Structure 1
């Protein structure tokens, strides 16, 4: 299993480590932009391939990264689609410091009939559309692959969770997603306006990445996620 790595700029001090679990059909090529952007902010990024028919291999690799002392804490799982579901499954049982669940795939999520429908369901970003179209390793029709879970609970007791979901996701509707997220303690939910299923690589990828960085920097301050940037307290409130 080949782990893809993006590191902080030369001479920079790493802030922590992101362990990315991609979704159905995706390869590391889908996350090149994401990896470069987050690593530019000094977060080391490691992408672990996920084979839904061999989840043990992915878990073993994640565990190796979690105990790798060369990778700085906090260590955060970042999952998309089926990788988001896997991140939610693993978070309560592995020593991760936080979780980012993006565009989760749930049992019964809607599939696609054609490549054109898959592209429309995944992203409105022309750059990402070109990336997946030109990626020889990308599995077309991957969104039709069944998930190896009958249910998913998005909660990790004592660990902060950031949920990102597109308001126009046709694969897992916001209604279905919000029903899973519910009011679970420690879960921060953000809907991306107009976002589709590949929310990390959709048209609002810059704002999504910025939201993740804010979550990560808050996590650096503590698991209660204190604000790094906040409105001033008004004189009336004082």
Structure 2
């Protein structure tokens, strides 16, 4: 597989920003074809990286490797601001921890971040592939993508992440956190507390979604939520549209 998978904005449209996607445990670049295509259709330049490794007992090294990977990913892309990082599962946990270092001069330092499926320190109770699929998603198309991907690492959710990667922390950076309300790996109270302590953070819970919240049945609505968040970046984080009156 290529080092990156790129999704380009439609020809003739002004690029609205650059998005780097950091996959999670077991996932490959192919996992995010659907999301990348959808964001690119809205004129965002999207690049999907390989899933970062979490070095056992050496979180610092894992963060250094991710920082190097993000820097390398930007070396060969025409950067259009804002730069946004999207992380899923362990990718989200590593991105979150990397941002806590506050290295604002790094070339990969973003204007905003989207963290999806942030896991708790507990590994998944998945005895086999069928059980892991049920934890991840009920979307038939996504289940087929994962099952048919020979590079996908099955059973990876059973390996818990170090506690220092799964403790939600406040931040001043604009941040959208996405979790499924059927995700058994989500630490919802911890995420809620972290968001309440961060005035520029938002926690969005996706109804009936599982751990792979970016790719579950609700993927269109989730992509729309991400686009809506990105649109607010140029508007002082004030929503473009607010509901004044509604009967539902």
TM-score (norm 1): 0.88
- Structure 2, unaligned runs of 5 or more: 56-60, 104-108
Query: How many residues are paired up?
Result: 230
1:50-78 per-residue CA deviation (whole Å, 9 max, x = no partner) reads 12236233221213445777210111110
Contact 1:88 1:155 in 2 (8 A): no
1:226 matched residue in structure 2: 238
Q: CA deviation at 1:12?
A: 1.9
SS in 1 for 2:117: strand
Once the two structures are superposed, the pairs formed by residues 103-114 of structure 1 within 5 Å of their partners are 103-114=117-128
Q: CA deviation at 1:146?
A: 2.9
SS in 2 for 1:110: coil
Of residues 71, 83, 86, the one that matches 2:79 is 71
1:10 matched residue in structure 2: 11
C-alpha spacing 1:96/1:66, structure 2 compared with 1 (3 Å): farther
TM-score (norm 2): 0.85
2:186 matched residue in structure 1: 172
- Once residues 99 and 219 of structure 2 are traced to their aligned partners in structure 1, the CA distance between those partners, rounded to angstroms, is 24
1:48 matched residue in structure 2: 49
Once the two structures are superposed, the pairs formed by residues 1-238 of structure 1 within 5 Å of their partners are 2-49=3-50, 50-53=52-55, 55=62, 56-65=64-73, 70-92=78-100, 93-94=102-103, 95-150=109-164, 151-157=166-172, 159-175=173-189, 177-222=191-236, 225-231=237-243
Q: CA deviation at 1:152?
A: 2.6
Contact 1:122 1:196 in 2 (8 A): yes
SS in 2 for 1:20: strand
1:63-114 per-residue CA deviation (whole Å, 9 max, x = no partner) reads 3445777210111110111111112112242421111011112222434211
- Structure 1, unaligned runs of 5 or more: 234-238
Contact 1:79 1:87 in 2 (8 A): yes
SS in 2 for 1:199: coil
Divergent runs of 4+, >6 A: none
C-alpha spacing 1:173/1:124, structure 2 compared with 1 (3 Å): farther
SS in 2 for 1:119: helix
1:139-159 per-residue CA deviation (whole Å, 9 max, x = no partner) reads 0001012324434334322x1
Contact 2:167 2:190 in 1 (8 A): no
- Once residues 41 and 142 of structure 2 are traced to their aligned partners in structure 1, the CA distance between those partners, rounded to angstroms, is 19
- Once residues 214 and 190 of structure 2 are traced to their aligned partners in structure 1, the CA distance between those partners, rounded to angstroms, is 19
- Once residues 86 and 23 of structure 1 are traced to their aligned partners in structure 2, the CA distance between those partners, rounded to angstroms, is 9
- Once residues 70 and 45 of structure 1 are traced to their aligned partners in structure 2, the CA distance between those partners, rounded to angstroms, is 11
C-alpha spacing 1:67/1:227, structure 2 compared with 1 (3 Å): farther
2:106 matched residue in structure 1: none
SS in 2 for 1:120: helix
SS in 2 for 1:132: helix
